[in-house]
Amino acid sequence: MNEMYCAVYFYEKGKYGSNIPVEDGRTRRKPKYQDVKGFQMSKEAHQVLLALVPTAKPIPRSRIVEYQYLASDGAPEVVGNYFKIAITEEDLPTIAKITRTAHHPGVYVYMRGRWHNAPQVEEYKDGEMGSYTVTSYEPVGAFELGMTPLVVQQVETRQFEKTKLRIVDEFVPRGEGMKVPFVIATPPGNEREMGSQSADRNPAGFPLQIIGNGMVLEWKKGYEDKDPIWWLRDEQKVSKEHSATYAHYSTVKSVPHMRWSRSFSAWYFIGGATPHQTLLNLVGYQPVTPAVTTPEVFTVKPPVAPDVPQDLLDLL
């Protein structure tokens, strides 16, 4: 049974003003409007919720605001700060169409036994550098009574790595140890076996270290209190012109959720326990399939009586 759920994040729950006037029979110069119980959320999360839940009703408001509001009446099940919605495979294109142009839309999908981020806009750095100048004025020399200090202008140029945006059009699994919206109850008899993985393999079943084409792809414990992640580095410490990872710079950089660590001079992948297929291709990883051996066929000759002539024995 493959259960699928969508978790939609909301900021807070409370009472919010609407453009519904209060009708109590009184005459006022300035109309009074009702406060409606509901939830505050982002525009993308609001659109996903209305598309998946027909009974959900927005709170009509008289002014344009950054957030959207949903009335409590008709709202789906709430777990923590998330709406829990049961979905099917047919709902995935609808979710992706809404969230793919949003940055951190707060929409997650549970399928195939784990949580996934909805398609969205992701920030990344490709090594392109920019620069800016900082001008400062500092006094030079000692301050003496009745003297004006000499002020010198200093111009300093600083560099920074540019941040770019790209659209991730797939449902990417959330990394190991990342906070999930809520825990899905496992049906009795289908509990996952904890600690069943071999000591020389990672949770997804891959070897902890894959070496090939002058590169090493390894599953290592995170630095300090970070979660385990995949690291891609050169097999040996070499110069930049002989680096295998630098020779495939554009390919590695195109992998979603790939980052560069200046401290360790290596790439790291935060897309989950399963490495991206591009990384496996770079190191030439091929799944090991058990070889099928053909059993040897032995021909057993029937026993022959001792008095059989030799010419008949040669015919057997």
**Domain spans in the chain, listed from the N-terminal domain onward:** 5-22+30-122, 129-165, 200-316
User: pLDDT 10s digit of each residue in the chain, 316 long?
Assistant: 578 999 999 998 888 877 677 776 566 666 677 788 889 889 999 999 999 999 888 888 756 567 888 888 888 899 888 999 999 999 999 999 999 989 889 999 999 888 999 999 888 877 788 888 888 877 766 555 566 667 777 888 888 788 888 888 889 888 766 788 888 865 444 433 322 334 567 777 888 888 888 888 988 765 545 667 888 988 877 888 888 888 889 899 889 888 888 777 888 888 888 888 899 999 888 776 544 544 444 443 444 444 545 554 455 4
Dist. CA 105–CA 93, nearest whole Å: 15
User: DSSP secondary structure string, 66-106?
Assistant: SSEEEESTT--EEETTEEEEE--GGGHHHHHHHHTT-SS--
For residues 278 and 251, is the Cβ–Cβ distance under 8 A?
yes
Q: CB–CB of 80/135 below 8 Å?
A: no
Angle value at C-alpha 181, between 175 and 184, nearest 5 degrees = 95
Residue carrying structure tokens 């020399």: 141
Q: How far apart are CA 313 and CA 301, in angstroms?
A: 11
Contacts of 7 (CB under 8 A, 6+ apart): 79, 82, 83, 84, 85, 107, 108, 109, 110, 115, 181, 182
CA–CA dist 72, 51 (Å, integer): 16
